[in-house]
Amino acid sequence: MPKACFRGVMLSNSTSISLADKKIKLGLIGARIDGQAGVVLDVLSHFKNIEVVAFFDNTAELKGSYINGIPVVGCIDSASEDSLANIDMFHISIGDNRARLELYRKLKKRRFSLLTIIHPTAVVSKTAKIYEGCFIGAQAVVQNNSIVSNVSLINTAAVIEHDNEIGEAVHVAPRACTAGRVKIGNMSFIGIGAVIIPDVVIGELSFIAAGAVITKDVSDQIMMMGYSAKVHKTNIYTEINEDL
């Protein structure tokens, strides 16, 4: 079930704590400093009690290096117990939806806790529910009674209006806007500046291109492009693992 949300971060258990109450040692999975990892580090600079102590990344040439003074210890799947011992929580700092959901499910099987990160300038309604491991960017808005499911990204200045249901591992890009009662399926991508009118249902694994205006339901695994938002082709996430 969704957990209670508060400004800054949300813990994966049901007990909300003040940001000043506890030091959190955080492991980031994904070390691309010119991608989502860089964005996450920037947001975390606002929170003095959260310390990133390690990056986990499967890029061979990064192992053993340091990024912004933080060690890259290799792939999370093969991480030693010593490298995990001093980590309280994890956050998946990867933009790819499929990879993020796969990693999330692996982490939960190992009973790791994931941190939701919310920029201080974001506006999240008290009645909104944010699941664990999510990222809510600068000046983003999540309105009343909306749900944002596990490891979804609501990026810079995106607007999730009232009574939305956002699935797992969804990415809503900067300045995209969903109107009331929109539903978005797992692992779908909503491009920069896209607009979705009220009561529309977006299927799983769908790709809504930048600037598209969606006025009717979109089936699973479909790409929509252009102002008229015509069906273009099956999207890049078609070949998925049946376990997802």
Contacts of 231 (CB under 8 A, 6+ apart): 222, 223, 224
Does 89 score more than 80 pLDDT?
A: yes
Q: How many residues does the chain have?
A: 244
Any domain includes 3: no
Single out the residue in 81, 116, 151 at which a domain terminates.
116
62 and 97 housed in the same domain: yes
pLDDT band per the 50, 70, 90 thresholds, residue 13: very low
Q: Give domain status of residue 244, yes or no.
A: no
pLDDT of the residue at 83? 84
Within this chain, do residues 105 and 128 fall inside the same structural domain, yes or no? no
pTM equals 0.86
- Asked whether residue 33 is assigned to any structural domain, the reply reads yes
Residue 160 lies in a domain: yes
Is 126 in the same domain as 112? no
Q: Is the pLDDT of residue 229 over 80?
A: no
**For 148, what's the count of Cα atoms within 13 Å in the CB-facing half-sphere?**
35
Neighbours of 141 (CB within 10 A): 18
- Give the pLDDT band of residue 224 (cuts 50, 70, 90): confident
* Whether 127 and 108 share a structural domain: no
Q: Which residues participate in catalysis according to the annotation?
A: 162
- Domain-located, residue 136: yes
Tell me: do 41 and 112 sit in the same domain.
yes
33 shares a domain with 92: yes
Residue 49: exposure state from Cβ atoms within 10 A (0-12, 13-18, ≥19): middle
Tell whether 242 is covered by a domain. Answer: no
Residue 161 backbone phi and psi in degrees, to 5? -75, -175
Same domain? For 22 and 43 the reply is yes
Same domain, yes or no, for 137 and 180?
yes
One domain, residues 128 and 212: yes
What CATH number is given to the structural domain containing 199? Answer: 2.160.10.10
The mean pLDDT value of the chain amounts to 87
Range of the domain at 151: 119-234
Per-residue pLDDT of 168-181, as tens digits, reads 999 999 999 999 99
Flag whether pLDDT at 240 surpasses 90. Answer: no
Same domain, 170 and 226: yes
CATH number of 19's domain: 3.40.50.720
Q: Is residue 4 part of a domain?
A: no
Q: Which of 102-106, 216-220, 221-225 has the lowest mean pLDDT?
A: 221-225
pLDDT score at 62: 92
Counted domains in the chain:
2
Q: Is the model's pLDDT at 215 over the cut of 90?
A: yes
Among residues 56, 90, 116, which one ends one of the domains? 116
Residue 97 and residue 155 in one domain: no
Same domain, yes or no, for 112 and 126? Answer: no
pLDDT at 7 exceeding the cut of 60: no
Per-residue pLDDT at 18 exceeds 60: no
- Domain finish residue from 116, 145, 173: 116
Q: For residue 234, list its beta bridge partners.
A: 222
In a domain, 36, yes or no: yes
